[in-house]
């Protein structure tokens, strides 16, 4: 039996592939490489290049492999882009996932783990925020994911599907063995941006908002190490193998760090005091988004290994240096 990982050439998916292979699982990756990289896919995985909503591709995969479950990461993930181009997000997230689920169910695959997001909570009044908090996404990206959660709930209610939706908080860091990491060009996430500034890939960075009602005036987020996140997926898969049920869980550590604390950690660990510009609040940003993780700790017996800002930053920095060397090597190859 094999696990189908959609989006396995991307940031989180490429970590998932390694975790599955490390556990001795057979893995098939489906990715159209629109933002992912073929080099990020572990060599032992079977790679199929194509779109998740293409019935012929799903048929090809299910004819060639005995797929027992899908771990579904593929999608479009940039919040501001979703505001500028909502159709892309409803098409590539909501519609494409509906097609994927439809084709998978027809092929007899009825277990799914889905990448949801804390963006569903919008700007939550309370912190930490639990799964039963009313959902109020602030962007088409968040709404496109909320619609998927609702579709999965309704399909599961018929008994046709068993799924786990994991609402990720702020994913960061890289594989501790440096086999993969966040490699997206033009990334906007705080830790990635700060690591790029620390390694000279950008001249400096901005702090978006210094007048929040927090201890140091900057916004708080719950940063979760990507390896702990993919381990939660593996636990969810093992759960579905034993118990045919469906549920939704927050994925975060339950405590937050401010933007200043993150930047200080990156400067301290890199030894580079890169320039900072103090800017206005970013539209749609919340003062604090922190997970209530009681449910995932209980339900999956999840035991995070890397719940430490310095570890997350160190692994992200190491990966940024690895990427810089990789790109230098590629340029030398061309010249
Ligand atoms: N990175 C985060 O902080 C974060 C937070 C919450 C949720 N998520 C969710 O996690 C998932 C993975 O995010 P990521 O950060 O790894 O993004 P990513 O862009 O690195 O990975 C997405 C992958 O999906 C592929 N893809 C996109 N559309 C496709 C399609 N139609 N058919 C086939 N392949 C397609 C891309 O080529 C890429 O390899 C996404 O669903 C995202 O919404 C991410
Ligand atoms: O250059 C930067 C980048 C970010 N920030 C600040 O750092 C914090 C974190 O910002 P990120 O862009 O890293 O992450 P977000 O919290 O905005 O959102 C991320 O986490 C969400 C879950 O909470 C969703 O998953 C969403 O898709 C994902 O982008 C915010 O206060 C932001 O204003 C800066 O000050 N400067």
Ligand nearest to the CA of 221: 2
Contact 113, 67 (CB under 8 A): no
Give the per-residue pLDDT at 125.
Answer: 85
Taking CA atoms, 232 is separated from 164, 226, 277, 305, in Å, by: 11, 10, 36, 11
**Residue ranges of the chain that CATH labels 3.90.25.10:** 190-219+255-292+303-334
Query: Which atom of ligand 2 is nearest the CA belonging to 189?
Result: 13
pLDDT of the residue at 332: 67
Provide long-range contacts, Cβ within 8 A and 24+ apart, for 186-194: 188/78, 188/79, 188/80, 190/221, 190/259, 190/262, 191/223, 191/262, 191/266, 191/312, 191/313, 191/316, 192/316, 192/320, 194/262, 194/263, 194/266, 194/313
SS3 state of residue 268: helix
Ligand 1 centroid, distance to 268 Cα (angstroms): 30
- Model pLDDT, residue 335: 41
**Where, residue-wise, is CATH 3.40.50.720 in the chain?**
2-173+223-254
Which residue's structure tokens are 């049920």? 245
Query: pLDDT digit of tens for each residue in the chain (335 aa)?
Result: 999 999 999 999 999 999 999 999 999 999 999 999 999 999 999 999 999 999 999 999 999 999 999 999 999 999 889 999 999 999 999 999 999 999 999 999 999 999 999 999 999 988 999 999 999 999 999 999 999 999 999 999 999 999 999 999 999 999 999 999 999 888 899 999 999 999 999 999 999 999 999 999 999 999 999 999 999 999 999 999 999 999 999 999 999 999 999 999 999 999 999 999 999 998 878 899 999 999 999 999 999 999 999 999 999 999 999 998 887 777 765 44
Going by the DSSP 8-state scheme, the letter that residue 107 receives in this structure is: T
CATH code for the domain defined by 2-173+223-254: 3.40.50.720
Calculate the alpha carbon distances from 226 to 95, 100, 103, 158 in Å: 26, 25, 29, 33
Name the DSSP letter for residue 168: E
Q: What is the pLDDT of residue 333?
A: 57
| pLDDT value of residue 15 | 98
Ligand 1 centroid vs 30 CA: distance in angstroms?
12
Please give the C-alpha separations between residue 289 and each of 51, 95, 129, 184, 226, in angstroms, as whole numbers. 32, 28, 7, 24, 18
Structure tokens at 82: 């979703």
User: 3-state DSSP call for residue 209?
Assistant: coil
Mutate-to-test residue for ligand 1 from 14, 36, 57, 75, highest number of ligand atoms within 8 A of CB: 75
| Cis preceding-peptide flag for 128 (omega within 30 of 0) | yes
Catalytic residue among 89, 121, 141, 163: 141
Phi, psi of 212 (to 5 degrees): -75, 160
Q: What class, spelled out in words, does domain 190-219+255-292+303-334 have in CATH?
A: alpha beta
Q: Is 141 a catalytic residue?
A: yes
- For ligand 2, atom 25, which residue shows the shortest CA distance? 117
Q: Is the whole-model pTM more than 0.90? A: yes
Distance 277 CA to ligand 2 centre (A): 16
> For residue 71, which of 90, 44, 52 has the smallest C-alpha distance?
52
Max distance between CA atoms of the chain, in angstroms, equals: 59
Judge contact between 30 and 5, C-beta under 8 A.
yes
């Amino acid at each position: 039996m094999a696990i189908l990982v959609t989006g396995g050439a991307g940031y989180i998916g490429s970590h998932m592939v390694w975790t599955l292979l490390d556990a001795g699982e057979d893995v098939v990756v489906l990715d159209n490489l629109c933002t992912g990289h073929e080099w990020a896919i572990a060599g032992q995985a079977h790679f199929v290049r194509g779109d998740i909503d293409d019935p012929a591709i799903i048929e090809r995969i299910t004819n060639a492999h005995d797929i027992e479950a899908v771990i579904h990461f593929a999608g479009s993930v940039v919040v501001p882009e979703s505001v500028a181009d909502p159709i892309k997000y409803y098409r590539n997230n909501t519609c494409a996932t509906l097609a994927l689920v439809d084709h998978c169910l027809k092929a007899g695959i009825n277990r799914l783990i889905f990448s949801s997001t804390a963006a569903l909570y919008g700007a939550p009044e309370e912190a930490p925020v639990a799964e039963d908090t009313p959902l109020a996404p602030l962007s088409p990206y968040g709404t496109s994911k909320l619609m998927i959660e609702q579709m999965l709930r309704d399909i599961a209610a018929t008994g046709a599907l068993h799924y786990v939706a994991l609402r990720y908080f702020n994913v960061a860091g890289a594989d501790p063995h440096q086999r993969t990491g966040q490699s997206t060009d033009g990334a906007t996430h705080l830790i990635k941006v700060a690591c790029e500034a620390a390694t000279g890939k950008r001249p400096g960075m901005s702090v978006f908002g210094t007048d929040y009602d927090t201890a140091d005036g900057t916004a708080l987020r719950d940063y979760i190490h990507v390896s702990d996140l993919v381990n939660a997926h593996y636990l969810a898969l093992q759960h579905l193998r034993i118990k045919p049920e469906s549920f939704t869980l927050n994925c975060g550590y339950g405590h937050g760090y401010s933007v200043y604390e993150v930047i200080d950690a990156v400067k301290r660990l890199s030894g580079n005091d890169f320039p900072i510009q103090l800017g206005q609040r970013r539209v749609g940003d919340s003062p604090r988004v922190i997970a209530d993780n009681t449910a995932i700790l209980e339900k999956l017996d999840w035991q995070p290994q890397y719940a430490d800002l310095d570890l997350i930053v160190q692994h992200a920095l190491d990966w940024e240096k690895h990427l810089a060397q990789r790109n230098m090597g590629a340029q030398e190859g061309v010249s």
